[in-house]
Amino acid sequence: MPRRRRRRGDLAVAAVLAALVLAAVGVAGGDGGAEFDYRKLSGIIIPGFASTQLRAWSVLDCPYSPFDFNPLDSVWLDTAKLFSAVNCWLKCMLLEPYNQTDHPECKSRPDSGLSAITELDPGYITGPLSSVWKEWVKWLTFEIALKLRGGPSLVFAHSMGNNVFRYFLEWLKLEIAPKHYIQWLDEHIHAYFAVGAPLLGSTEAVRAVLSGTTFGLPVSEGTARLMFNAFGSSLWLMPFSKYCKADNIYWKHFFEGKGGCPHRQQCDEAEYISDYSGWPTDLVRIEVPSVRDMGAYPSIMDITENITSSMECGKPTLLSFSAREVSDGTLFKTIEDYDPQSKALVYQLEKYYQGDPVLNPLTPWERPPIKNVFCIYGIDSKTEVGYYFAPSGKPYPDNWIITDVIYEFEGALLSRSGNSVSGKPNNSSGDGTVSFNSLSWCKNWLGPKVNITRAPQAEHDGSDLQTTMNIDHHHGQDIVPNMTRAPHVKYITYYEDAESLPGWRTAVWELDKANHRNIVRMPVLMRELWLEMWHDMHPESKSKFVTKAFRGPLRNEDCRWDYSKARCGFPEHCEYRYIFGDVHLGMSCRLKKTSTNLLQQYL
């Protein structure tokens, strides 16, 4: 494979074609006697934008290779590859902000179509409007998966990878005849697992655009800001209102003539009568000097000097912006005089998002027409939901400082400064990166009746299981289970609907304290995904979803030494079996050879 230096800066996301090794890992002899050939299934992983600290950045690196993804391994993307490539991608990251062209020294990019496949470094997905990745996802992943493995695919998307997948679905709808669209999806996609999807955007995107977020990279915030703003796809994470929908771009000419202002967003009345666009609080508050006395396009230094001087002399004004005003460009238009980047951001918003011929991605997403949809996210971490900015007096890109941060945390709003905060917190908080209202938007994909189960994340025997059946769910409202949490126990809460759409299933899993960036490496998530898939594929499964009543060891690694009892834990399933080379007691605890019906109980 030729090593290729390359980069489109907006390759913020990538599809990774990965063979999903479902052959019963470590459950040797314990597959319950099923004759099912799991190898027919294949999985497609669409990682997110900086989805795990450093990790997703590695899709931006120079060459890397496909890897096998084993659902019980804690492998998502390889961090080591990033470190070897930081310099390479730094050079290639910076795109010309208006026309999204490459750095002159870094032009190489994948061929589209089949010639790219043969020398595949996976993962060439660009932002909206780029044709490269559409071909890619379609041919490389779904078609090939169907041919090679003879079965439909499982799609796993993390974070912004979900936005990519949504865009792909919309594009496909325009690409194939309407009556074949659902059929294509049925044949090619068995299930879609949306992990940590920022369904209404993320406030962190605002921080990244105005002041820079390093995601743990060894660069300054200013450099991070330059890079982030250079990607056409960074605005894809802008927070927006759930009440505003886009008009179809093809209808746009009907609205023209209204004062020359293209009509691009239609908001429900709720947008104007409810506060904060349905978010917990205003997303951005900016302190600007009250006197604006500038030429048409003054230089950066002049502006900052004058902002600084009038800050000292005049009274600053505090401007507030809701999610709608962030995503419709109002925020950037307002600060145009103070921020040299704003004009380009407004331009990108209008051209690549509001004006995208396939989809304005800054609009709420209804349930995708896929048979099985699982929406999975962490809750109850402290998550940023709003910022106060003020001019710093330094030149771009360091011209804003964050003077205060608003967090949501377990049903309350807090501020970094300790000042009191007004707002409407949700009952839970987000996953540390994306706020709860955005993650939990997919609860709207559930039907009018929902079964709820709460179970501990750790291995358990079912004694702590809470279940309520057929709870009424009103579209647009959160479903708050009437269930308890014991202190210091982390739970998973499953919301399931196998009724409202005949033959289709929808589920939402909330994992207590699961972090946005690390959720994809959590053994608990891997276990649940694996069991759900195993259940779904098993010809003898009786329940609609995998049963929750018991979670025990599945692999030798799950058997541990129980020091208090001086024997292996889970004695029904694990036994002490020393094998030469074992260096501690736990290693010698292995699954019993006799436990052939280990997986039978999950059907």
Ligand X SMILES: *[C@@H]1O[C@H](CO)[C@@H](O)[C@H](O)[C@H]1NC(C)=O
What is the DSSP code (8-state) at residue 417? T
Regarding 364 and contact with ligand X (CB under 6 A), the answer is no
Q: Which is nearer to ligand X, 47 or 232 (CB)?
A: 232
* b/e 386-408 (16+ beta carbons within 10 angstroms → b): bbbbbbbeeebbbbbbbebbbbb
Whether 199 and 442 have beta carbons less than 8 Å apart is answered as yes
- Write the DSSP string, 191-250: EEEEES--BTB-THHHHHHHT---TT-SS-HHHHHHHHHH-TTGGGG----TTEEEPPGG
525: helix, strand or coil: helix
Min CB(479)–ligand X separation in Å: 8
Is the backbone of residue 569 left (phi > 0), alpha (psi -120 to 50) or beta? beta
Mark the segment that binds ligand X (CB under 6 A) among 4-12, 87-95, 298-306, 452-460.
Answer: 298-306
Min CB(274)–ligand X separation in Å: 6
Mark the segment that binds ligand X (CB under 6 A) among 134-142, 162-170, 414-422, 476-484.
Answer: 476-484
Regarding 489 and contact with ligand X (CB under 6 A), the answer is no
Q: Which is nearer to ligand X, 104 or 539 (CB)?
A: 104
* b/e 418-436 (16+ beta carbons within 10 angstroms → b): eeebebebbebbbbbbbbb
Among 478, 523, 557, 600, binds ligand X (CB under 6 A): 478
Catalytic residue among 51, 58, 159, 440: 159
Catalytic residue among 431, 497, 512, 536: 431
Beta strands in 26-183 (DSSP E): 42-46, 153-158
Regarding 161 and contact with ligand X (CB under 6 A), the answer is no
Closest by alpha carbon to 94, among 155, 184, 205, 10?
A: 10
Mark the segment that binds ligand X (CB under 6 A) among 78-86, 180-188, 208-216, 445-453.
Answer: 445-453
Min CB(500)–ligand X separation in Å: 7
Asked if 431 is an active-site residue, the reply is: yes
C-alpha triplet 13, 18, 22: angle, nearest 5°: 135
- Mutual orientation of helices 86-93 and 221-230 as an angle, nearest 10°? 60
C-alpha distances (whole Å) from 246 to each of 160, 262, 268, 289 are: 20, 12, 11, 34
Among 202, 306, 360, 457, binds ligand X (CB under 6 A): 306
Using CB under 6 A as the binding rule, the residues of this chain from 232 to 291 that contact ligand X are 278, 280
Regarding 468 and contact with ligand X (CB under 6 A), the answer is no
Min CB(100)–ligand X separation in Å: 8
Question: Among all chains, which residue has been given the structure tokens 């927006």?
Answer: 240
Regarding 484 and contact with ligand X (CB under 6 A), the answer is no
- The answer to whether the Cα torsion of 352, 355, 359, 363 is positive or negative is positive
Regarding 412 and contact with ligand X (CB under 6 A), the answer is no
Integer Cα distance of 241 and 278 in angstroms? 7
Q: Which is nearer to ligand X, 68 or 96 (CB)?
A: 96
Asked if 159 is an active-site residue, the reply is: yes
Min CB(34)–ligand X separation in Å: 22
Residue nearest to ligand X (CB): 478
Asked if 474 is an active-site residue, the reply is: no
- Applying CB under 6 A, the residues found at the interface with ligand X are 96, 98-99, 101, 278, 280, 293-295, 298, 302, 306, 309, 424, 426-427, 437, 440, 449-451, 469-470, 478, 480, 482, 496-499
Q: Which residues are catalytic?
A: 159, 431, 475
